[in-house]
């Protein structure tokens, strides 16, 4: 397990007060909202999911870590995705097709055409 840490608050390019954190469950951005509470956003690549709201950055971080740790220890999954293509568009198409199948409940899938291919599988860990 990795160590946890919360960075010092700073102003982001939009002028919002935020701090970055690293927890057992991954990377977080902790941002101060208009009502002066803090939200912890667990990051998944370029997207995030609001995990907790609290009065301090530390409380928001701790709540989100507890929530995700409890949730992930129940049904943690791992997805392996391989995409090949001639153009970047082929890669995007493969990723979108795999995402569509996952959202429909499939745990594996594949397809190919003249310019690209993808295959994925999901397993419990």
Domain ranges of the chain: 5-73, 77-124
Q: What angle do CA 21, 22, 24 make, to 5 degrees?
A: 140
What pTM did the predictor assign? 0.47
Which residue matches tokens 């295959």? 119
Q: 19-58, pLDDT tens digit by residue?
A: 998 887 778 888 888 888 888 887 765 556 676 788 888 8
How many residues are given for the chain?
125
Are the C-beta atoms of 121 and 108 separated by less than 8 Å? yes
Q: 72-107, pLDDT tens digit by residue?
A: 555 667 889 999 999 999 999 999 999 888 888 888
């Amino acid at each position: 397990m990795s160590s946890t840490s919360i960075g010092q608050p700073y102003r982001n390019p939009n002028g919002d007060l935020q701090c970055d954190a690293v927890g057992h469950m991954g990377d977080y951005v902790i941002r101060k909202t208009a009502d002066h509470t803090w939200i912890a956003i667990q990051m998944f690549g370029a997207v995030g999911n609001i995990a907790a709201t609290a009065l301090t950055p530390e409380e928001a971080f701790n709540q989100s870590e507890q929530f995700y740790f409890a949730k992930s220890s129940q049904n943690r999954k791992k997805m392996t995705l391989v995409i090949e293509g001639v153009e970047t568009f082929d890669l995007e198409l493969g990723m979108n097709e795999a995402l569509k199948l996952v959202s429909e409940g499939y745990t594996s899938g594949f397809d190919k055409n003249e310019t690209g291919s993808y295959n994925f599988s999901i397993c419990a860990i």
